[in-house]
Structure 1
Amino acid sequence: MNRHSRTRTAAAAVALASTTALALGACSTTKTSGPGAVGSSGGSKGPIKIGLVTKTDSNPYFVKLRESAKAEAQKNGDTLIALAGKFDGDNAGQVTAIENLVQQGVKGILITPSNSAGVLGAIKKAQDAGVIVIALDTATTPPDAVAATYATNNEQAGKLLGQYVKARLGSTKPQIVAMDLDPSASVGIQRHNGFLEGMGLPLQTPDIIGSALTQGDQTKAQAAMENLLQRVGGQVNVVYDINEPAARGAYQALKEKGIADKVLVGAIDGGCAGVQNVKDGQFVATVMQFPKKMAEDGVNAVVEYAKSGTKPSGFIDTGATLITDKPVPGLASKDTTWGAANCWG
């Protein structure tokens, strides 16, 4: 081979190496953010990082939801990072939590939104970064702001309680005090409206003789009930409660007033303490939710999305069961023995 031939051969080898390097570089280019980010649309390998944002970190219901989500993630070798608002209604705290989780590189975020519309901007930013967002317990407004919602049908839960209380009242005119949540929380609105539907009453019924916003907190509910009783006195014969902590606070105020045995106190939650309250006669009934199922289904949905790109969609009803030891004809219920075997907390 002459000198010119050797020079041409070397040049060709360099060109081939350069072309190969460019091709390999193009094949290995990855997208680190946005809907097409690696791992955000399937194909993740190894442990998956999942975020959870609850309304608070102290309410027993959200404690159970967090524990169940963490256990389900760990079972598969994945990681759950749990954050929460400071109180039920702390929208700003939840927005900060979402932003924090995105920065930590989670594949998906499970959220129980305090304000069903207030977190939409943060959710959209997370989705734009390639993170799937799924609601647990409480739907967003609009519902399709997230991929899917795993939750109790809260309107149906309220309706079950209302139907039961109506049957227990019989022909007695209802005089209702409502221990509500927060006007910005869809779960509170749905349960309240469902309860009135079950009672056969219009939304603006005069049969609600008093109401208070409790944030689902026992201490706040007790103080609110004490204040209301100064005005309505012994007129009240029904107390509707957004959850069991609020019901316990209301019951304590009624007990101290000496009229607890004259009032039908009902709640929604299904925690073990609430089932015991029903058994002890403090509540006439509670409606059980299943946070363990919500949490497990949500975690598994994120894992499936990270691995295969398959997204859940729509509203997935995780169930609601009326718990009482004094059943009424025509309304399905379970007793406190069943409740104790299936409760949470």
Structure 2
Amino acid sequence: MSRTIETTSRRGWLALALIAALPTSLATGLASPARSADGILVGLVTKTEVNPYFVSLRRAAEAEARARGVRLIARAGKFDGDNEGQVAAIETLISAGARGILITPNNSTGPLGAIAKARKAGIVVIALDTATDPADAVDATYATDNFQAGVKQGRYARHALGSKAPHLAMLDGTPGGTVDTFRHNGFLQGFGIKEGDPAVAGKQITNGAQDKGQTGMENLLSAHPDINVVYTINEPAAEGAYAALRAAGREHDVVLTSIDGGCLGVKYVKRGAIAATVMQFPAKMAKAGVDAVVDFAKGGSKPSGLHDTGSATITDHPFPGLDQHDTAWGLTKCWG
């Protein structure tokens, strides 16, 4: 056995040992892709293993890693906002010898120290879905333009409300994330109002979770029974909001909108639970991220800059002048 092969073998066993030693407090998404003669290891760190959006993103990354013949280690925080869990995962991936790390940051500034450590070690770091702050804290970002997705959501909501005076409820995600800020601000712009406008009846933090979406909607309806339009950060929060609206007998006279475009979310739109959702394409993000790491590891150029993976409004009740697709189209494209 040559010294090079022996060294590669030892590194492989070390990586496997470190994988086994990862703390059980992290989510357990571990890929089992084909081994590669090149010994390329790609790390993926998502926000949670609960949100189906991130499950879809992970599965797409696993599939692309298998197709490219490389190994993938997938880890996640225990909950949306678990910055410490993501930092621990990054540090373990550094020790395991990852050539690249793909991350959807829970907090846009929280993991910057660990990311800087990874880049100093020669590891390419790519943000998926959620940009860091500053954006150049990572080598590249593959994500939805979340501000423009929010604009699309807000424009649709304004058209759907018609001539009614707006009484808006905003079910936000997790403070500190660029996704949450961009979608929130984009919605307001698309809707045609500014932060602090009296049309905003109230806001609640949901962390993008169904149960908190329902509780937040219940609280807002109790305090502001005249709410007639609802912004939600994602489809789990929208599902919770719909449950609260239905329990209050308000599901037919409130315009409920969202962002994500998962297959289940498109079905919500099809049955009328959500008026419209703005579809993202996480599989495109994951595939592009894995490919960028592998290409770089094989001698290609290092990825850089922001790469917008697109978005599309899905509704069966379109309005003139808006770029929209129906649910039949959406069900063929959901989370592709």
The structure with more radius of gyration: 1
Higher relative contact order at CA 8 Å, sep ≥6: structure 1 or structure 2? 1
Q: Which residue does the alignment assign to 1:327?
A: 318
Q: Deviations 1:29-78 (Å, cap 9, x if unpaired)?
A: xxxxxxxxxxxxxxx96131000000001110000000000110011210
Q: Deviations 1:264-312 (Å, cap 9, x if unpaired)?
A: 0000000000000000001000000000000000000000110114111
Is 1:313 matched with 2:304? yes
Q: Which residue does the alignment assign to 1:163?
A: 155
- Residue ranges of structure 1 left out of the alignment (5+ in a row): 1-24, 26-43
Q: 2:70 aligns with which of 78, 93, 96?
A: 78
Name the CA distance, whole Å, in 2 between partners of 1:297 and 1:45: 22
CA contact (8 A) 2:279 2:335 kept: no
Q: 1:289 aligns with which of 280, 284, 288?
A: 280
Q: Which residue does the alignment assign to 1:211?
A: 203
Name the CA distance, whole Å, in 1 between partners of 2:61 and 2:39: 15
Is 1:149 matched with 2:141? yes
The one-letter amino acid of 2:146's match is N
Equivalent residues in 2 for 1:195-206, closer than 5 Å: 195-206=187-198
The percent identity for this pair of structures is 57
Q: Which residue does the alignment assign to 2:251?
A: 260
Q: 1:46 aligns with which of 11, 32, 38?
A: 38
Equivalent residues in 2 for 1:1-345, closer than 5 Å: 46-233=38-225, 235-344=226-335
What SS does the aligned partner of 2:324 have? coil
The one-letter amino acid of 2:119's match is Q
Name the CA distance, whole Å, in 1 between partners of 2:239 and 2:284: 25
Q: Which residue does the alignment assign to 1:33?
A: none
Q: Deviations 1:162-192 (Å, cap 9, x if unpaired)?
A: 0111111222111111110122111001000
Bigger mean CA offset, 166-175 vs 69-78: 166-175
Name the CA distance, whole Å, in 1 between partners of 2:267 and 2:88: 37
The one-letter amino acid of 2:180's match is G
CA contact (8 A) 1:88 1:114 kept: yes
What SS does the aligned partner of 1:315 have? strand
Report the count of equivalent residues: 306
What SS does the aligned partner of 1:52 have? strand
Name the CA distance, whole Å, in 2 between partners of 1:100 and 1:254: 44
Q: Which residue does the alignment assign to 1:31?
A: none
CA contact (8 A) 1:116 1:138 kept: yes
What SS does the aligned partner of 1:81 have? strand
- What's the TM-score, normalizing by structure 1? 0.86
Q: Which residue does the alignment assign to 2:10?
A: none
Q: CA deviation at 1:230?
A: 1.4
Name the CA distance, whole Å, in 2 between partners of 1:45 and 1:313: 27
Name the CA distance, whole Å, in 2 between partners of 1:62 and 1:100: 20
Name the CA distance, whole Å, in 2 between partners of 1:133 and 1:214: 28
The one-letter amino acid of 1:74's match is R
What SS does the aligned partner of 1:258 have? coil
What SS does the aligned partner of 1:102 have? helix
The one-letter amino acid of 1:135's match is A
CA contact (8 A) 1:65 1:291 kept: yes
- What's the TM-score, normalizing by structure 2? 0.88
Name the CA distance, whole Å, in 2 between partners of 1:151 and 1:144: 14
CA contact (8 A) 1:47 1:77 kept: no
The one-letter amino acid of 2:231's match is Y
Tell me how large the CA RMSD over aligned residues is.
Answer: 1.9
Name the CA distance, whole Å, in 1 between partners of 2:326 and 2:85: 38
Name the CA distance, whole Å, in 1 between partners of 2:304 and 2:124: 11
Q: CA deviation at 1:344?
A: 2.7
What SS does the aligned partner of 1:261 have? coil
CA contact (8 A) 1:45 1:307 kept: no
What SS does the aligned partner of 1:260 have? coil
